Structure 1
Amino acid sequence: MLNWRWLGARALGALITLLGVTVVVFVVLRTIPGDAITASLGIESGTLTPAQRASLEHFYGIDRPWFAQLWAWISGVAHGDLGLSLTNGKSVTSLVASSLPVTVELAVLSALIGTAFGVVLGVLAGSRPGRASDSLTQGASLVGLAIPEFVLGTAVVTILAEAFHYFPDTGTFVPLTRSVSGNMSQILYPSLVLAVAFAANVMRTTRSEYVEMADADYVRTARGKGLSPGRVRRSHILRNATIPIVTLTGIQFGYLLGGTVIIEQIFALPGMGRLLFTAISNRDYPVVQGTVLVIAVLFVLVNLLVDLLYRMIDPRTRAS
């Protein structure tokens, strides 16, 4: 049964978090040298007369105090308006809407691959602690965590280009609904790169929990009753090790939604990370603010979903 009081408290906490993120991003952007006029006109902004600059400051709303600008931004967000891009004049909402599905698909596929391999390898290592398979699996996980994503991504692109004449597609992104093969040719390789560290973290957590649960009293009791090893593994060990795995998976998935900047650049994917990188480079403040806010919303929603999964998996969390 869903506790509405608990859900309301979590929703209020999420709103406070998002408000804090909005204020911090807004203030940080305003401390960077330059302004909206410089971002939109470049070096031509130096040729403006005082009257022209004053007119543009009024047009962009930067002639008002910061608090008034922040309130105008929050009011616009409340009405679904994230503003207009300073570099191309397009709606920030439309830019985010076109890039968000790319990042979400990349994150989801990476999480699925990483979780699947991580759990399987973690169980393999945890069921044979101290043996060769355990040492080999743990060594592979350390390598996966140690290699930076940009190094691995660059190496993958180089190998694919030399061996298979594959180059990242810099053209239009192919949605999954239009062509499965075309979409996978663009999204599979970067997903595999992101899944390496994801799988390594999941594997280490799964192994640790498996080894700990395997020595629990209720597991020895289940074995003493004559239950098959497979049933003991599924119903008693893995089921009780699920919560730490869900926690780690949810946190990593949240970071994936906002941490794909480098991989999207390397593989030329028009996702949220690439949009944010371009906006920062161009000092396109409305795009930066809108993109960061959307990423923060997704991160908060993922954390809320993880909490809901807790309550479904473990009744003790509902009681508390």
Structure 2
Amino acid sequence: MQLAGWRHIYSGKVRDLYTPADGSDAHLLVVASNRVSAFDHVLEPPIPGKGALLTALSNWWFARIDLPNHLVDDRAAAPEVPAEVADRAMLTRRLEMHPIECVVRGALTGSGYAEYERTGAVCGIELPAGLRDGDLLDTPIYTPAYKAPLGEHDENITFARSVELVGEDVATALRDASLRLFTAARDLAATRGVVLADTKFEFGRDPLTGELVLADEVLTSDSSRYWDASAYHDTALPRQDRLASFDKQIVRNWLSEHWDRTGEPPALPERIVAQTYERYRELYVRLTGGEPPYAPVAV
């Protein structure tokens, strides 16, 4: 998409990046699209309203996090955000991004549980024997990943490896900030009847001040795993119902039933698109106590 006053520089699976068309490099425009991806494919059709909803949720969390973030406060000194993407765009300052995806796990599930089953550890952290998928950990664990170059897969690493990549001071700061933010977010989510199972943070360095800055999306359905607390603690429910997450798992489940992962994936039915948006919307309402700032998709 071409935007007046901005130059497109990159498109990922679900987000697009722009720099000012005048050649200045102090700002970025991060636009969350309505695209949805699964199994390394961007799917059709997109999820209407998804980009704006996730941007609103990131902004809600940024306002409650006690750490500098990448959002630009003084918009008068920055290029104007085009109206057509205003509800799903973040105007940010340019940072020197650290090549570490800062994953924090408060529960053992997903790829972490798969690794635990093989080795008894996650990213080099030994865990007690006998844990089951979805079990909450007594203490959240920090399991970083190396952000691989474009086109390659990220790689789970140990904390020691992160020290080799960015130095001990930065690696320690990333770990400590991630654990602190996760703990605060987990506790807040609990008051809304939601379990924050895991999340990932990304940080950069402000080239002018040298400070550590929280960047990218934060604590959204695309970067975090949330469970309904009442369902999670209902041991009479099947485990898959207890661990039903507020994200695009509906899409993954449908694809797994209707596609063998060869060739191009099939188009998503309208009901799957609507149900996926509703799951994202439900989390937003549960956490914030309000409706997203636009009309929801009809189910």
Structure 1 length-normalised TM: 0.28
